[in-house]
């Protein structure tokens, strides 16, 4: 059963703690993405990765970090430096076409992070 999995579905953390969100895909996609979804703001790109061992900052990367050690995995760490971390986090992946992924992005179910 192919797709993107994110775990956990709900996550609670105390202020000041780092937390890592998991994203795994078995679609054999080269590119993976992390977005943050807030009510009334749509999805905003945090980080993206076109290939293993490479990633770039998106529009709102401050306070976040990522790694891409394996093609199928792209974990996101929300650090204590992120000023407003409570949000819904979505992971996506896409196939590649040419130099940069231009194909359709497929999304995981999301992780709702609440920082208390």
Partner 1 sequence: AQSVSQHNHHVILSEAASLELGCNYSYGGTVNLFWYVQYPGQHLQLLLKYFSGDPLVKGIKGFEAEFIKSKFSFNLRKPSVQWSDTAEYFCAVNFMEYGNKLVFGAGTILRVKS
Q: Which stretch binds partner 1 (CB under 8 A): 10-18, 40-48, 63-71, 77-85?
A: 40-48
Taking CB under 8 A as the rule, does residue 48 contact partner 1? yes
Q: Which stretch binds partner 1 (CB under 8 A): 12-20, 21-29, 39-47, 67-75?
A: 39-47
Taking CB under 8 A as the rule, does residue 49 contact partner 1? no
Of the residues 13, 22, 30, 44, which one makes contact with partner 1 according to CB under 8 A: 44
Q: How far apart are CA 27 and CA 99, in angstroms?
A: 19
Q: CA nearest 105: which of 34, 37, 22, 11?
A: 34
Binding site for partner 1 (CB under 8 A): 33, 35, 40-45, 48, 58-59, 90, 100-102, 104-110
């Amino acid at each position: 059963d192919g797709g993107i999995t994110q775990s956990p579905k709900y996550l609670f953390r105390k202020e000041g703690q780092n937390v890592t969100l998991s994203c795994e895909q078995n679609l054999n996609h080269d590119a993976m993405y992390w977005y943050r979804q807030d009510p009334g703001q749509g999805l905003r790109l945090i980080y993206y990765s076109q290939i293993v061992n490479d990633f770039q900052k998106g529009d709102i990367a401050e306070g976040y970090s990522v790694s891409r050690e394996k093609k199928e995995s792209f974990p996101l760490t929300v650090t204590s430096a992120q000023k407003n971390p409570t949000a819904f986090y979505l992971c996506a992946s896409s196939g590649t076409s040419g130099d940069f992924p231009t194909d359709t992005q497929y999304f995981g179910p999301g992780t709702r992070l609440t920082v208390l």
